[in-house]
Amino acid sequence: MNLHPYIPCAGQRQTVTFSTHTPTATQLKMAKEQEYEELRELLQSWDVADLLPHLQDEAINVDELQMIKRHHLAELLSNFRFGTRIRFEHHLERWRRWLNVPLQGLQGQSQTHCQGCRCAESAAPSIICQPQIGGQSDSVGDSGKSDDLAKTLPSEPLVSLTDPSEAVQATFHMPMQSQLEPSEILSSTLVTNVKEEDSGDQVQGEDHVVTVLGILQASGMKSQSLLERLGQQEALDAVQRLLLIQLICSYYEDNQLHLTLQRSHLLEREILQLFPKEQLHYYRTERRGKIYVRFTNMKRNKRVNSSRQELKRRREDLLKPPAHVYATDLGPKGENFTADTAFSPERSD
């Protein structure tokens, strides 16, 4: 009987390794490039691709461009040439109007206010803040300038990239379902979803109901330019592709639907059928695809924001002073007196 412990040979000992899944610098760089891929395509379509490193350093992605205010632009682009700033602000304003989320404020609000002034940014009509005393005559002239500036701003909320004749032709060739109101389409879609859930086949019902065409029809004015391109023998540009991906992911997120990888591939195939000149590599740079990556990023950001709010709420609860009751605050029968009743002039000892 061998009482010696088992000692593996040298060859077997070499196979026992402890692998650490630490991402390398190359993997981190590739992940960062994939995260900012949509922003890169958007800036390239605006001919301001040199702004990409600066926006990455400032942690600004496509989502932040949808939330940015006009007064942020002056500080963000202060180190760039005026030509780059003008081009970026011009395309950003058109893109935000296209998404039906126009930039807030007038042109003059992008400048920095003077220190110590109390003028509200929402009511400031001029670039330079006027002092509080003796500024009535200047405010009259500034109000006239703001009226002239308001007249020069475009009033239409969307920017059409097609000819009017093509838009009219696309409207006549559009199916009857697309002529319904967006609220009616969305309500019918939700009713169908409820029926599928009652039948016990939620995933299968979701695959049959949620389509790219249905999402575009339910998005209202935001998808009007994409609906005009249905069946056209023209490829979409980078801005339109970004809008299409965003509408799909927002629909799944707003309706609390789960988007699987297989379902995202089916949506990509449907896009190629709706827009004949589109190609698959526009939407799938890797196995997962841009639609699935965009949706997972939205879910992750939502979880991070909710966890931050929960942590903030817990910290506020911990900082609240405890409500202690001392023996001196108790009356003869056990009732407690607050500070107001203890020092009230109506109290008689």
Token pair listed for 76: 């963000």
Q: What is the SS3 assignment for 312?
A: helix
Reply yes or no on whether the pLDDT at 3 is more than 70: no
- For 93-106, what is each residue's pLDDT tens digit? 888 888 778 887 65
User: What is the assigned CATH class of domain 32-112?
Assistant: mainly alpha
E strands, 55-127, are none
C-alpha distances in angstroms, 90 versus 42, 53, 80, 100, 219?
Answer: 13, 20, 15, 16, 25
Give the residues across from 336 on adjacent strands.
330
Question: Per-residue b/e over 229-243, b at no fewer than 16 CB within 10 Å?
Answer: bbebeeebebbbbbb
Q: What is the SS3 assignment for 211?
A: coil
Position with higher pLDDT, 123 vs 333:
333
Position with higher pLDDT, 316 vs 322:
316
Query: What percent of the chain has pLDDT above 70?
Result: 52
- For 191-208, what is each residue's pLDDT tens digit? 444 344 444 444 444 445
Q: In angstroms, how far is the first alpha carbon of the chain from the final one?
A: 95
- For 43-86, what is each residue's pLDDT tens digit? 988 989 999 999 988 889 888 888 898 888 888 998 898 889 99
Q: CA 326 to CA 5: how far, in whole Å? A: 68
CA atoms within 13 A on the CB side of 157: 9
Q: 341: Cβ–Cβ under 8 A, 6 or more apart, which residues?
A: 347
Query: Is this prediction's pTM over 0.85?
Result: no
Going from N- to C-terminal start, the domains of the chain cover 32-112, 164-306
